[in-house]
Structure 1
Amino acid sequence: MAILVTGGAGYIGSHMVLALLDAGEEVVVIDNLSTGFQWAVPPRARLVEADIADEAAVDGLLSGGGIEAIIHFAGSIVVPDSIADPLGYYLNNTVKTRGLIAAAVRHGVKRFIFSSTAAVYGMPEENPVVETARLRPISPYGSSKLMSEIMLADASVAHDFSYVALRYFNVAGADPGGRSGQSTPRATHLIKVACETALGRREKLSVYGTDYDTPDGTCIRDYIHVSDLAAAHLLALGHLRAGGASEVMNCGYGRGYSVREVIGAVNRAAGHEIPVEFTGRRPGDPAALVARADRVRDVLGWRPAHEDLDGIVASALAWERDLPDRKRQAN
């Protein structure tokens, strides 16, 4: 039986596909390629170009019992965009997820792993933040993901259906073997933008706020390597296969780095200083957001292999340097 990966042509999804294939799994990808890339899906995986809202396409994949589990990445992820287009985010992240859950229940697919986010916490009162902290998202993006978590919890009570929701902190880096990485144009992730700046593809890196209540005045975030995140999903699949209970877990290292520290790591990897512009705060940015990640370690036995900031940045920069050639070869 196969694992269905939604959004498997995107950044995190493509790394998940690699991890599954490396583990000997059969993989089917569904992706509408609106932000993903066909070339990011390895030939050993079957790619179906369709939106998860296409009920006929999803039913066709799930009918017949060939899909054992769904790992769901498809969705929209840019917080400022969600504020500008909240209804679009509720459609893409919540309504379509509801349809996917319903299809899983309808076809007897009993295992579901969901790509959630630390944005469900909003402005946490304490750091590191635990899974039981108050959930107060401050963006439609965070709310859209929280609504999906609620639907999963309710569906698991009403049906023979179990799930793991993984709340990501700041995902970064690229496959150590150079097979995949962050390839989306106009990405907003700090490490991605800093690497583009280091290679001269952006004029400068903007730093939003230098007066936060942090040691150097800039925001602190917990950066997790994308391959470690994919490994957590693989362990979540094993947990559900073994009959494990539904779970919600943070995915981070429990160690935060400031924007200035990230810039220092990029400067070291690039061998030169990148141009930086310091400007005012953006609305809604917490001073710090760091995971308390004991649960994913204790329940799943997750042991990250790439939790060094310099290593994360070096892998991201190497991918960014080679990305234009990869895109040319794909075309």
Structure 2
Amino acid sequence: MSWLVTGGAGYIGAHIVRALGAAGLSPVVIDDLSSGHASFVPEGVPFVQGTILDRALVEQTLREHDVEGVIHVAGFKYAGVSVKRPLHTYEQNVEGTRVVLQAMADAGVDKLVFSSSAAVYGTPDVELVTEDLPKRPASPYGESKLIGEWLIRDQAVATAEDERPLRHTSLRYFNVVGSGDLAVYDTSPHNLFPLVFEALIEGRTPRINGDDYATPDGTNVR
């Protein structure tokens, strides 16, 4: 038995793959390498290069590797860019999640961990974000993640009386930073820390947006 990590050649996905291996579980990776790197996949881990939009490929991977659960990390994650590319964002994140759910149903896989985002909350006007806050996404990216959660919830309801109902959880996080392995690092051209380090390496002062936040120097806190 194994666990499929969609987007497992990406920055976050590659860390998940290593965590699964360290826990004695057998990871399998599917990734189209649109933002991931084949070199991030550890030697010996089965790697299928392809898109999660290809239902037949996803189902084949689930069956061939005797997958018992899916950790769905693949997706288009840039909130700012999603405003300019909403159709692409919805295709990758909404249709991609629907296809993964369909392939899981067809292959009899009933466990799912979904990589959602704190972007589903938009910009809350409170200091502490909790799961009880209203969901008010402020970008197509945040909207696509919330719709993904709805799809998963509805599929769980639809299979509740089945012999193997869908069991799932969604993780709402943001601004992932750091590296648990020297071979894996954040290569995103949009993420905060790569931008900061790039500026420092080039001898530039990192740009910090905002000067009117309720903090000692007026800059925001992440």
Range class of TM-score, shorter chain: over 0.9
Deviation for aligned residue 1:64: 5.8
Q: Give 1:1-331 correspondences, 5 Å limit.
A: 1-63=1-63, 66-159=66-159, 160-175=165-180, 177-184=181-188, 186=189, 188-200=190-202, 203-221=204-222
Hey, what's the Cα distance between the residues in 1 that align with 2:18 and 2:118?
Answer: 24
Q: Is the 8 A contact 1:172 1:192 kept in 2?
A: no
TM-score by length of 2: 0.93
- Letter in structure 2 aligned against 1:171: V
Distance 2:93 2:104 in 1: 16
Q: Deviations over 1:288-330 (max 9, x none)?
A: xxxxxxxxxxxxxxxxxxxxxxxxxxxxxxxxxxxxxxxxxxx
Deviation beyond 4 Å, 4+ runs, structure 1? none
Structure 2 residue aligned with 1:250 = none
Gaps of 5+ in 2: 160-164
1:59 aligned counterpart, secondary structure = helix
Q: Pairwise CA RMSD of aligned residues?
A: 1.4
State how many pairs are aligned: 217
Q: Could you tell me whether the CA contact under 8 Å between 2:54 and 2:99 is conserved in 1? A: no
Higher strand share: 1
Query: Are residues 178 and 64 of structure 1, via their aligned partners in 2, closer, same or farther at CA, if it must alter by over 3 Å?
Result: closer
What do residues 2-44 of structure 1 show as CA deviations (whole Å, max 9, x unaligned)?
1000000000000001111111111110000111001010012
Offset at residue 65 of structure 1 (A): 7.3
In the alignment, the residues of structure 2 paired with residue 37 and residue 163 of structure 1 have an alpha-carbon distance, to the nearest angstrom, of: 27
The 3 A distance-change label for structure 1 pair 56 and 138 is same
Is residue 62–residue 107 contact of structure 2 (8 Å, CA) maintained in 1?
yes
CA distance in 2, matches of 1:117, 1:15: 17
Write the letter of the residue equivalent to 2:196: A
Secondary structure at 1:90's aligned position in 2? helix
- Alignment check: 8 A CA contact 2:2 2:25 kept: yes
SS at match of 2:136: coil
TM superposition shift of 1:180: 1.3
Q: Distance in 2 between matches of 1:8 and 1:204?
A: 33
CA distance in 2, matches of 1:129, 1:218: 19
Percent identity between the aligned chains?
41
Distance 2:217 2:44 in 1: 47
Query: 2-side partners of 1:59 and 1:178: how far apart?
Result: 32
Q: Deviations over 1:223-267 (max 9, x none)?
A: xxxxxxxxxxxxxxxxxxxxxxxxxxxxxxxxxxxxxxxxxxxxx
Give the partner amino acid of 1:205. Answer: P
Say whether the 8 Å CA contact 2:200–2:206 is kept in structure 1: no
Secondary structure in structure 1 of the residue aligned to 2:208: strand
Shift of 1:125: 2.7
- Whole-Å separation in 2 of the counterparts to 1:3 and 1:13: 12
Cα separation, 1, equivalents of 2:217 and 2:114: 35
Instruction: Tell me how far apart the structure 1 counterparts of residues 105 and 170 of structure 2 sit (CA, whole Å).
Output: 17
Query: SS of the counterpart of 1:207?
Result: coil
| Structure 1 unaligned blocks of 5 or more | 222-331
- The residue type paired with residue 44 of structure 1 is G
